[in-house]
Amino acid sequence: MENILSKTCGKIILIGEHSVVYGEPAIAIPFKSTELNVSIQKSKYNIIDCSFFYGKLEESSEDLRGIRFIIEKFLNEYNIKENIKIKIKSSIPNERGMGSSAAASVGVVKALFKYFKINYTTSNIKYWANISEKIVHGNPSGIDINVVLNEKPVFFEKNEDIQIFPINMDGYLVIADTGKKGRTKDAVTDVRKLIDKDDKYKEIIRKMGELTRISKDYIINNDIESLGNVFNKFQSYLEQINVSDEKINKLIKIARENNALGAKLTGGGRGGCIIALASNIGQAKIIANKLRELAASVWISNLKSENL
Ligand code: PMV
């Protein structure tokens, strides 16, 4: 029988991607329709078993370089000689801005602590998961790890204490996957170049931060229509900093044509997923069905904390 030692889930950034890298806030929610389980058992060699790789840890693929690094470092740090097989089972699509790498890092580290019966705290998990995220993403804001670890909606500002932020809106979120891998690291690097080149982009980032702060009020006041307008405005800024793409724009257009209150990309962009807001489940289903004609996968989630 499989010994599942940790369960984590994906995440969705509602608003604030990219500007969060420059100290502006972001709001993100856990995405429990997707999950990632890690099990560990004794083995002859150190083995990784996941959907895109099965084999010796030392021969694992490039996609797993962050995870491999922290497993090797962990075993070394705790002077562990036993060999293990780590199985990662995940329904979080890879590299779609849904936090799959953060979920895997958090999940694997938690499972290692448990398997080897080593006491740990949340900050221990954060420490190890951050090492892996830095290898994969360069210099991430840290939002992914925080949402995945807390499994609660958060209002996040880099270098500040995380604020758990309950969401209780009468409305639905439709999430659609372009089917294309997102290129967060490239997108973040290119945005940095724009900002260094021209002050007008600094101003855009500042305005994105303002929109995120306003969104917080709209969420607290259950004002989904205003939140939808803000999503649209935020998307136009994401387009101006050049992180949207043709498929994202097409899915957003479909959502808006089918009465979404607002729609935007989520995560790093250039591939990945979009999110659209709907006022009721009927509307959400209409939007979702239309998106299914073009998207790789579509989900509907309600915007109540107890379900998020
Ligand atoms: O693509 P994701 O889910 O890793 O989200 C990236 C969010 C950015 O703000 C673009 C980068 C970051 O580190 O916060």
Return the structure tokens found at 268.
Answer: 């790093």
Residue to mutate (ligand 1; options 144, 155, 234; most atoms within 8 A of CB):
144
Integer Cα distance of 156 and 144 in angstroms: 10
Q: What is the pLDDT of residue 308?
A: 60
pLDDT of 286: 98
What are the phi and psi torsion angles at 143 (to 5°)?
A: -65, -40
Q: Could you give the CA distance from residue 308 to residue 302 in angstroms, rounded to a whole number?
A: 8
Nearest CA, atom 5, ligand 1:
267
Average pLDDT over residues 189-218: 97
pLDDT of the residue at 194: 97
Distances (CA, A) of 1 to 4, 41, 48, 71, 161: 9, 10, 17, 23, 40
| Percent of the chain whose predicted confidence (pLDDT) is above 70 | 98
* Residue found by looking up tokens 């509307």 in the block: 283
Q: State both tokens at 300.
A: 């509907």
pTM attached to this predicted model:
0.92
Ligand 1 atom with the smallest distance to the CA of 187 is 10
* Gap between the Cα atoms of 171 and 227, Å rounded: 11
Q: Ligand 1 site: residues with CB under 6 angstroms?
A: 17-18, 20-21, 97, 99, 137, 140-141, 143-144, 182, 184, 188, 267-268
- Out of 137, 190, 205, 245, mutate this one to test ligand 1's pocket (max ligand atoms within 8 Å of CB): namely 137
Q: pLDDT band at 200, cuts 50/70/90?
A: very high
Categorize the per-residue pLDDT at 1 as very low, low, confident or very high, splitting at 50, 70 and 90.
low
pLDDT of 3 reads 83
CA 60 to chain centre: 23
Give the pLDDT mean for 59-83: 95
167-177 mean pLDDT = 95
pLDDT at 306: 65
Instruction: Ligand 1, residue 184: give the atom nearest the CA.
Output: 1
Ligand 1 pocket test target in 9, 17, 189 with most atoms within 8 Å of CB: 17
**Distance from the alpha carbon of residue 13 to the mean position of ligand 1, in angstroms:** 8
Distances in whole angstroms, Cα of residue 219 to Cα of each of 6, 206, 207, 227: 31, 20, 18, 7
241 versus 162: the higher-pLDDT residue is 241
Nearest-atom number in ligand 1 for the CA of 16 is 9
The chain-wide mean pLDDT, for the chain, equals 94
Q: How far does residue 126's CA lie from ligand 1's centre (Å)?
A: 17
| CA-to-CA dists, residue 164 to 27, 153, 154, 155, angstroms | 10, 6, 5, 6
DSSP type of residue 63: G
Q: What is the pLDDT of residue 139?
A: 77
Q: Which pLDDT belongs to residue 95?
A: 85
Classify 302 as helix, strand or coil: strand
Q: What is the mean pLDDT of residues 17-43?
A: 95
- The pLDDT, as a whole number, for residue 158 is 87
Q: Is 90 exceeded by the pLDDT of residue 136?
A: no
